[in-house]
């Protein structure tokens, strides 16, 4: 393996590593932190719009266990539909939900731009860091508009972030199979506004003290010899750099009901001044409502 390839693999695991998370559900602190932050958005959207039917499409992101970002909605007794374009992955996703005894419908599709649901089937349609797997953004937005009654919630990687910009320039940091233009917030906004959706809110979130690299933060901190940062905020040393299992599955199965509290000890930068959030946030979000 060349030096260049080793560098690329250090910070940028290839997309096809997704099966390993089903074999060993240790997702790392970074992914677990993101998932808990999403719960805050969900709670606010539910309070505002009284959500009952939820569509997550596409459900596949680049790190962590696929297809479980909507678990919060199911635990609140909402009707959840999870869409993926990979049969083996969708089968594994369904098994995880069954193990947690949470209900959802699972849909396999060849094209996210054409989904087998009736018009206005969902109160909320949403996705997290997955739009670059959609081949045709305009057509996909038309489909979301057709399917959605009230709210469209989209999260994308923060293209202005320091970590993201480093990743783009690192050897192997870009992937030819990804549609990078799809995560441009101006492109998303243009497509949905022409379909009479109004941008109600936008912003930056996921602003933890670690950089935005798709690598388990325990591993990253250990390699960079700064594992003490993990220990600093955990009196019980539960978030140590030694690799204790870190997965939101333990929260939903009630094995670690205090996990959110532990993870959110790293939340102190979420309300940082705008310039800091813009440069350090890992994600941007857009909330659209019917005009």
Give the pLDDT band (50/70/90) at residue 251: very high
Condensed to tens digits (0 to 9), the pLDDT of residues 15-51 reads 578 999 999 999 988 999 999 999 999 999 999 999 9
pLDDT at res. 40:
98
The CA R_g of the chain, rounded to the nearest whole Å, is 18
3-290: which CATH topology?
A: Rossmann fold (3.40.50)
Condensed to tens digits (0 to 9), the pLDDT of residues 135-191 reads 999 999 999 999 999 999 999 999 999 988 988 887 767 777 899 999 999 999 999
**The pTM of the whole model exceeds 0.75:** yes
Helix (H) / strand (E) element for 165: namely: helix 162-169
Q: What is the DSSP string of 180-195?
A: GGGG-HHHHHHHHHTT
Which has the higher per-residue pLDDT, 273 or 176?
A: 273
Work out the mean pLDDT of the chain and round it to a whole number: 88
The Cα–Cα gap between 287 and 149 comes to: 13
């Amino acid at each position: 393996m060349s030096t260049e390839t080793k560098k690329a693999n250090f910070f940028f695991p290839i997309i096809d590593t997704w099966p390993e998370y089903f074999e060993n559900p240790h997702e790392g602190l970074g992914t677990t932190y993101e998932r808990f932050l999403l719960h805050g958005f969900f709670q606010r959207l539910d309070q505002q719009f009284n959500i009952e039917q939820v569509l997550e499409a596409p459900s596949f992101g680049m790190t962590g266990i696929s297809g479980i970002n909507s678990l919060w909605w199911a635990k609140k007794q909402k009707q959840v539909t999870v869409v993926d374009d990979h049969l083996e992955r969708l089968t594994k996703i369904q098994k995880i939900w069954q193990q947690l005894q949470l209900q959802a419908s699972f849909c396999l599709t060849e094209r996210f731009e054409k989904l087998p649901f009736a018009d206005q089937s969902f109160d909320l349609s949403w996705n997290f860091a997955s739009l670059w797997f959609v081949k045709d953004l305009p057509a996909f937005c038309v489909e979301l508009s057709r399917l959605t009654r009230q709210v469209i919630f989209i999260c994308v990687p923060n293209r202005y972030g320091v970590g993201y910009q480093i990743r783009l320039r690192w050897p192997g940091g870009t992937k030819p199979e990804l549609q990078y233009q799809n995560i441009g917030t101006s492109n998303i906004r243009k497509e949905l506004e022409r379909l009479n959706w109004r941008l109600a809110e936008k912003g930056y979130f996921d602003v933890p003290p670690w950089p935005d690299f798709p690598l388990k933060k325990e591993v990253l901190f250990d390699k960079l010899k700064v594992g003490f940062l993990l220990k600093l905020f955990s009196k019980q040393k539960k978030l140590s750099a030694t690799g204790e299992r870190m997965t939101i599955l333990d929260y939903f199965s009630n094995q670690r009901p205090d996990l959110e509290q532990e993870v959110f000890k790293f939340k102190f930068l979420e309300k940082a001044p705008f310039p800091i959030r813009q440069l350090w946030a890992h994600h941007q979000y857009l909330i659209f409502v019917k005009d």
